[in-house]
Amino acid sequence: MDIDLNKALRKTIRSGKVLIGSNVSRDAVKDNSETTVVLAANCPALIRAEILDSNASIIEYPGMGIDLGIACGKPFNIAALTILDPGDSGIMAIFEPEETPETSEASDTLETLELSEAVEAPAGIE
């Protein structure tokens, strides 16, 4: 499932519960490891390391902090954003696997066929 991260973030802020700020996010993952944190590309290294060391789910925002702020509808830089409740945004679909079991079985079968053909070809040469 392909979702627009900017739209999902705006909807999360409107309908869910979020904490904005890198220090608040760092404290939130210390208290509750089952949160989701959105990190901007320029999030300070120390904050990023502390959040990554926790068991929190991480969404790497591809833009800088000012871009994340604009995406969230805020007129300031946001280095980190903690999602406590996603509301009805569907942002957690990012963590769902995109490959279905039928697709993975089909690709395994294809790889097996290619491998067996590669093994049989040299055997015919004398």
* 0.85 surpassed by pTM: no
Average pLDDT, the chain: 79
Q: Is the pLDDT of residue 112 over 50?
A: no
Nearest to 38 by CA among 89, 78, 73, 95: 78
Q: Output the pLDDT for position 88.
A: 83
Q: Specify the CATH number of the domain 5-97.
A: 3.30.1330.30
* Domains of the chain, residue spans: 5-97
CA dist 79 and 38 (Å) reads: 8
Q: Output the pLDDT for position 34.
A: 80
The rounded Cα 92 to chain-centroid distance in angstroms is 8
